[in-house]
Every structure is written in structure tokens, then in C-alpha cells.
Amino acid sequence: MTLSQKIADLKRRMREASQGGGQKAIESQKAKGKLTARERILALLDPKSFHEYDLFVAHAGKDFDMDKKFLPGDGVITGTGTINGYPVCIYAQDFTVAGGSLGYAHAKKITKIMDHAMKLKVPIIGINDSGGARIQEGVNALAGYGDIFYRNTMASGVIPQISVILGPCAGGAVYSPALTDFVFVVDKISQMFITGPEVIKTVLGEEISKEDLGGAKVQAQITGNAHFYARSEEECFEQIKQLMSFIPWNNENKAKPFPKKPPKRQYKVDDIIPVDPTEPYDVRNIIKALVDDSEFLEVQELFAPNIVIGFARISGQSVGIIANQPMVLAGVLDVDSSDKAARFIRFCDAFNIPLVTLVDLPGYLPGIDQEHAGVIRHGAKVLYAYSEATVPKITVILRKAYGGGYIAMCSHHLKADFVFAWPTAEIAVMGPEGAANIIFRKEIMEAENPEEMRKKKIEEYKDKFANPYVAAAYGYVDAVIEPAETRHFISHAIEISMNKSESLPKKKHGIPPF
Ligand code: HXC
């Protein structure tokens, strides 16, 4: 063959290998409102940046007439590219080829690109759209998942790992996303479950739809398995691009700094915090009043909304923000909000992103439900994550900081670098009402007018403790600041902490309260 014939042959082979599972399967994919695997990669990556590898890998199935089948790319596309100029490794399962099911060669392609990502120290993005382990390939399919889970674990904290669920993600397959850092889901397209509706019907005799069992909303709102929820695949890709702008390539780098920008004019801290200390407000408006261009990428927005977490920039530097949300359950820490915050803190710490904590909470949520759900064990995760974090840690106490909540929300005792408090801060063992009822019970009971006495004692307690000055007198608060100065103080603290270096005691690893 001449060179031009060989090139024509190559092109023909490439066309054949990248055709997916054929017209019918592609039409069925489109009818479900889904893009094809290749379209997804091209939509997510920078134009012309995608380079595909292992296009000609052949599938390894031999039983059930599998050897007679042609499965292009073995149902998964792998390669490298860039997002906003940042290098990434990527794979996308192709549901049009054998339902994107994972056989031996399919898994080998994924583990190879994961190994690449680890060697090149760049993020790995996995687009999941699959019926799970390829049933015809038996134990080789299971082995493939095991190989992926192992790599997910090894890559954890080394390179960012992003999972995008754009179709079914069933059975053991769900554990790869669960081991990664961020899971993206799309309304009416994503489904995640260990056991599907068929099995549930057989075993439990219950009928349930895929959507109700593990659809996007369920994963984003109820289970907390998903970190980002989008209404369309396009919106999901925009969210991924935005996330990538806040995080570094790997744990040896910092996120790329951006030009400094002031917050938008409509957000002013002074206007947001209510005069009445019992009145709720939306802490997201405070965040927007503090961060560059008021741009805040909220993580797990729908799950445990009593705590708000997400990425922003202050003076051009990426920061992770953790803020109690007084609008929901008064911003208490409970089982879910503790899990949510602790994991986020660990991500930021692993990837050199400073932590900014905004405190306004009455403490941990009381009650039998929380105690039985393990609020002790889960709440401890927050203490562990903050204590262990060595990135710059800046805390601002806006209003209430009572009891365990005061300690847990990155107090000096957990080695915050800077703790600032507004004059509205109330730092004490518990709220004035509860405290007065306990410590002045006798006086209140014996008074001629107990109600009047109660009020008097509450005021007495407030005067003594419900302020930031007692904590400031012990040095637990570094500076009591005017709310309008907050951005300036945080910004300075971040700049001055740029070269912070702190190491943990030598150990193989800690034993966090998982
Ligand atoms: C082989 C599979 C497959 C699988 C789907 N297909 N899942 N082939 N192994 N696991 C094939 C179908 O046979 C079909 O092939 C094509 O993919 C499209 O599937 P449909 O069923 O027609 O699509 P749809 O109606 O959209 O339903 C999608 C689905 C369903 C919900 C994912 O296919 C399904 O329930 N599949 C099995 C899911 C499951 O239980 N997986 C767990 C496996 S066990 P044709 O040739 O007809 O087009 C597991 C354990 C791993 O994963 C443990 C690791 C630790």
C-alpha cells in the first residue's frame, strides 16, 4: 500500500471504531435527551484539544457469542485534553455500545488513563453512562471495577477526581464516583443505585421508579452523594469548567490566581445581618459581599442546607468557604451538615486551598433522632478535619458561636490562624435563655415575679457573655472588627499566610471517625 492508501485505511478504521453502537442505539440515546459519549467530551473540553487513545482496543469477551461482536472502543472513550487551558485526562462510557457495560478491555482503558493522570499529575474526569459490570464477562468485569476502585483510592488527595453521572450508574459501579471528589448529576438523566428496581421488586416486592430510587434530585438533595445538580448536560459542563477554575491540577500546586476584583455593589455586609440577633438571614449574601466579583460556586447546594460550602476567590486567590446558614435550622451542625463540611475541608486541605469559615450557630442539633443517627461520630468529623488541616485557616464569628459549635467551627483551639469576630458576636457555652434557666434557676423560682427575674437574669448573662470581648480578652479572638472591614482582614490574612508551612506528627495515617 502507498502512504496515501495507508492513510485512507487509517481513516476508514478510525471512522469504524468511533461510530459508537450504530444508528439505532444512537437514536435511542438521543431520545433519552442524552448526548453521545464523544459529543460529551467535545462539549466539555476546549475546542480541538481532545486527543483520543486506545481507539482500536478490542474487547475481550469470548462467551455467549461475544467473540462474534464488534464493540467499538469496547464502550468507552479515553484521552487527554484541556479545560480553560488546564490539562485533564478523561474517559466517557458509551452507552450505545453494549450499554456502556464494563468488560475487561473497557476497564483496562479506564485504568490506563487513570494511571496516566497520576503520572502526569493532572485531574481525571470520568463520565459514567453504563449498565455496570458486563454480565457476559463475569469475574473479569468485577476485577475491572476493583482495579478502578483501587486507583480512585490511590489518587485521592493527589489529583482532583471528578465523576459525571450521565445515565445509569448501577450496582458496584457507583463506588467509583463515591470514591472521587466531586459527583455531578443531571435532572432526569442521572441514576445511581446499588440495587435497581427489578431486584427490589424481586427481593422486597416493592415497586419503585429509577428516578425515585436514585435520580439526580435524590442524589443531590437526600443522599448527598452528588455535589452538583444541573438541569441539562450543557449546564453540567459549565459547572465543571467553573469548578476547574477554582482548583489546582494536583496536590503539589495551588489554584491559579485570578486578577483581583471587588464584590458586586449590591452586596453589602452591613445591610445583610439583621439587628435582631434571633432573626435569620441568608449567609450566601454575606459570602457574596466578601468575595471577588461576588462569584460563589456552591457545592452540595441542596443537601444539608444548614451549612453552606463552596469555592470563591478573595483578592484573586481561591478559597474554600464553610458557613453556617442561619436561614435553615438556625445553622446548627447535625449529622449531614457535619459530613458535608468535613469532606469539603479535607478536599481544600489536600489541594492547598485556604479555608474561610463564617460562624453563626447555636451548636449541635439536639434530639433523639440526631443522637441515634450518630451526631457524636459525625460531628467529630468536623473537629478532625479542621484540626488536621494545615492550609491557612481564617475564621470570622458573625453572631452566635455557642457550645461545641464555637469549638468546631475552626476556633483557635483547632489551630485557626486568624479568628476575627464582629461586635455582634456572642461566644458562650450556650444561649442566654438556656444558660439563665440553668444557672439562676433557684433565684428565678424563689423570686416574687419569676418571669421578671428570668428576664433580668437573661440580660445579666447577655451583658457578661453574649459578646466577643470575653473571648478577645483571652486571645481566642484576634481582632474584633467592623463587618465592613471583613474582606480587608480576610484578604490580608490570606496574603500573609501564603507561605504557611505546618506539618503533622509523623504517622502512617490518622483514624478519622469515618
Ligand atoms: C451487559 C448490558 C448490561 C450489562 C445493559 N446491557 N447492561 N450488557 N452487561 N450489565 C446492554 C443490554 O443488554 C442492551 O443490549 C444495551 O446494553 C442497552 O440496555 P437496555 O436494557 O436496552 O437499556 P435501558 O432500557 O436504557 O436500561 C438500562 C439499564 C438496564 C437500566 C442500565 O440495561 C439494566 O438494568 N442493566 C443491568 C444493570 C445492572 O444490574 N447492573 C449491575 C451489574 S452487576 P442490546 O444488545 O439489547 O442493545 C454489577 C456489579 C459490579 O455492576 C460490582 C463491582 C464491585
Whether the CB of 71 sits within 6 Å of ligand 1? no
* Helical ranges in 367-447 per DSSP H: 368-373, 375-388, 403-408, 432-439, 441-446
Same domain, 346 and 411: yes
HSE-CB at 264 with a 13 A cutoff on CA atoms is: 10
Of 135, 149, 188, 190, the residue with max ligand 1 atoms within 8 A of its CB, to mutate for a pocket test, comes to: 135
Whether the CB of 100 sits within 6 Å of ligand 1? no
Same domain, 200 and 324: no
Ligand 1, residue 191: give the atom nearest the CA.
Answer: 31
Closest residue to atom 15 of ligand 1, CA basis? 98
For residue 53, how far is its CA from the centre of ligand 1 (angstroms)? Answer: 25
For residue 81, how far is its CA from the centre of ligand 1 (angstroms)? Answer: 29
CB 73 within 8 A of CB 55: yes
For residue 332, how far is its CA from the centre of ligand 1 (angstroms)? Answer: 42
For Cα atoms 379, 221, 401, give the angle at the middle one, nearest 5 degrees. Answer: 35
In a domain, 26, yes or no: yes
Ligand 1, residue 135: give the atom nearest the CA.
Answer: 9
In a domain, 513, yes or no: no
Whether the CB of 168 sits within 6 Å of ligand 1? yes
Same domain, 424 and 477: yes
Ligand 1, residue 133: give the atom nearest the CA.
Answer: 52
In a domain, 384, yes or no: yes
Ligand 1, residue 168: give the atom nearest the CA.
Answer: 32
Which pLDDT score, from 0 to 100, does residue 422 have? 96
Which pLDDT score, from 0 to 100, does residue 433 have? 83
Same domain, 336 and 477: yes
Closest residue to atom 28 of ligand 1, CA basis? 131
Same domain, 421 and 448: no
CB 327 within 8 A of CB 281: yes
What's the maximum distance between 2 C-alpha atoms anywhere in the chain? Answer: 109
For residue 94, how far is its CA from the centre of ligand 1 (angstroms)? Answer: 12
Helix (H, G, I), strand (E, B) or coil at 20: coil
Whether the CB of 142 sits within 6 Å of ligand 1? yes
Total Cβ atoms within 10 A of residue 35: 22
Whether the CB of 135 sits within 6 Å of ligand 1? yes
In sequence order, the β-bridge partners of residue 169 are: 130, 192
Whether the CB of 166 sits within 6 Å of ligand 1? no
In a domain, 255, yes or no: no
Same domain, 240 and 209: yes
Whether the CB of 134 sits within 6 Å of ligand 1? yes
In a domain, 259, yes or no: no
Range of the domain at 141: 3-244
Which pLDDT score, from 0 to 100, does residue 431 have? 81
Closest residue to atom 27 of ligand 1, CA basis? 131
β-strand pairing of 76-83 with 86-93: antiparallel
Whether the CB of 145 sits within 6 Å of ligand 1? yes
Written as nine digits, the cell of 112 is 490506563
Same domain, 365 and 456: no
In a domain, 439, yes or no: yes
In a domain, 353, yes or no: yes
Closest residue to atom 22 of ligand 1, CA basis? 99
Whether the CB of 138 sits within 6 Å of ligand 1? no
Same domain, 223 and 153: yes
> Cα–Cα distances in Å, from 216 out to 42, 110, 118, 219, 224?
23, 24, 29, 5, 10
Which pLDDT score, from 0 to 100, does residue 275 have? 78
- 448, exposed or middle or buried, with CB in 10 Å at 0-12, 13-18, 19+? exposed
Closest residue to atom 17 of ligand 1, CA basis? 99
- 153, exposed or middle or buried, with CB in 10 Å at 0-12, 13-18, 19+? exposed
For residue 203, how far is its CA from the centre of ligand 1 (angstroms)? Answer: 19
For residue 102, how far is its CA from the centre of ligand 1 (angstroms)? Answer: 10
For residue 424, how far is its CA from the centre of ligand 1 (angstroms)? Answer: 57
Same domain, 370 and 459: no
For residue 142, how far is its CA from the centre of ligand 1 (angstroms)? Answer: 14
Q: What is the CATH number for 362?
A: 3.90.226.10
Q: For residue 41, give the amino acid letter.
A: I
Which pLDDT score, from 0 to 100, does residue 72 have? 86
Count of domains for the chain: 3
Same domain, 172 and 43: yes
In a domain, 257, yes or no: no
Whether the CB of 133 sits within 6 Å of ligand 1? yes
Ligand 1, residue 134: give the atom nearest the CA.
Answer: 9
Dist CA 471 CA 359 (whole Å): 14
Which pLDDT score, from 0 to 100, does residue 270 have? 87
The tens place of each residue's pLDDT in the chain, 514 residues long, gives 899 999 999 999 999 999 999 899 999 999 999 999 999 999 999 999 999 999 999 887 787 877 888 788 999 999 999 999 999 999 999 999 999 999 999 999 999 999 999 999 999 999 999 999 998 888 999 999 999 999 999 999 999 999 999 999 988 899 999 999 999 999 999 999 998 898 899 999 999 999 999 999 999 999 999 999 999 999 999 999 999 999 999 999 999 999 999 999 999 998 888 878 889 999 999 999 999 999 999 999 999 999 999 999 999 999 999 999 999 999 999 999 999 999 999 999 999 999 999 999 999 999 999 999 999 999 999 999 999 999 999 999 999 999 999 999 999 999 999 999 999 999 998 888 888 888 888 988 898 998 998 999 888 888 888 899 999 999 999 999 999 999 999 999 999 999 999 999 999 999 999 8
Same domain, 419 and 354: yes
Classify residue 56 by its DSSP letter: T
Whether the CB of 193 sits within 6 Å of ligand 1? no
Same domain, 421 and 436: no
Closest residue to atom 36 of ligand 1, CA basis? 131
